[in-house]
Amino acid sequence: MELSVCLDPRRSWADQRAVALAAEAAGYAGVWVCDHFMPLPGDDRPVLEGWTSLTALAAATDRLRLGTLVLGAGYRHPAVVASMAATLDHVSGGRVVLGLGAGWQENEHAAYGIPLLPPPARLAMFEEYVVAIRSLLRDPVTDLDGEHWTLRAATCEPKPVQPALPLLVGGAGRQRTLRVAARLGDQWHVWGPADRFAEVSAVLDERCAEAGRDPATIRRLSGEVVGPELTDAELGRLLAGYRTAGADEFVLRDHSDLDPQGTVRSLERVARALGR
Rg, Å, the chain Cα set: 18
Q: In the chain, how long is the greatest CA-to-CA distance?
A: 57
Tell me the residue length of the chain. Answer: 276
Query: What is the rounded average pLDDT for all residues in the chain?
Result: 97
Q: How confident is the model at residue 190 (pLDDT cuts 50, 70, 90)?
A: very high
What residue segments make up the domains of the chain, in order of their start? 2-273
Q: What is the mean pLDDT of residues 50-56?
A: 97
Q: How confident is the model at residue 2 (pLDDT cuts 50, 70, 90)?
A: very high
pLDDT tens across 105-143, in order?
A: 999 999 999 999 999 999 999 999 999 999 999 999 999
Are 266 and 230 contacting, i.e. CB atoms less than 8 angstroms apart? no
Q: Is the pLDDT of residue 173 over 90?
A: yes
pLDDT given for residue 198 in this prediction: 98
Q: Which fold has domain 2-273?
A: TIM Barrel (3.20.20)
Q: Decide: residue 244, CB within 10 A, 0-12 exposed, 13-18 middle, 19+ buried.
A: exposed
Q: How confident is the model at residue 276 (pLDDT cuts 50, 70, 90)?
A: confident
Q: Decide: residue 147, CB within 10 A, 0-12 exposed, 13-18 middle, 19+ buried.
A: exposed
